[in-house]
């Protein structure tokens, strides 16, 4: 297994456009997380899936954001009508849960909204 992968690695888009990011977790991991990281800060939690169910969303996740995890495998994060404030690194992590709940991160997708 090669770890968590994310696609694309970089995305430049114009304000108002929609973007979609993909995350492929470690294959046996049933938990999947999305985080957002802005310059000089640590990652902040956005949303969490256990298998295909989206169990929690942060208040950071406005109505323009939607995430899915069909069949409990890969996940997508879509941002509609992007704004300059959406520019950030979007990180995906997966976890097998018990006993240590450690999370393994992908390389991230860097979004720049112009």
Question: Rule CB under 8 A: which residues touch another protein?
Answer: 4, 6, 31, 33, 35, 40-45, 48, 55-56, 91, 93, 95, 97, 100-108, 110
Q: Which is nearer to another protein, 54 or 80 (CB)?
A: 54
Residue 17 main-chain phi, psi, to 5 deg: -80, 160
What is the torsion angle, in degrees rounded to the nearest 10, for the CA atoms of residue 77, residue 45, residue 61 and residue 81? -50
Taking the complex as a whole, the smallest distance from the CB of residue 19 to another protein amounts, in Å, to: 19
CB of 8 to another protein, least distance (A): 14
| Residue 108 backbone zone (phi > 0: left; psi -120 to 50: alpha; other: beta) | left
């Amino acid at each position: 297994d090669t770890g968590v992968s994310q696609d694309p690695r970089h995305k430049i888009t114009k304000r108002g456009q929609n973007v979609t990011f993909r995350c492929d977790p470690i294959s046996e991991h049933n938990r999947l997380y999305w985080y957002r990281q802005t310059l000089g800060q640590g990652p902040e939690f956005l949303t969490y899936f256990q298998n295909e169910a989206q169990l929690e969303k942060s208040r950071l996740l406005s109505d323009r954001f939607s995430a899915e995890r069909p069949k409990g495998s890969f996940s997508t994060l879509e941002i509609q009508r992007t704004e300059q404030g959406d520019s950030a690194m979007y990180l995906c992590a997966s976890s097998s849960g018990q006993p240590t709940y450690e999370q393994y991160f992908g390389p991230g997708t860097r979004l720049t909204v112009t």
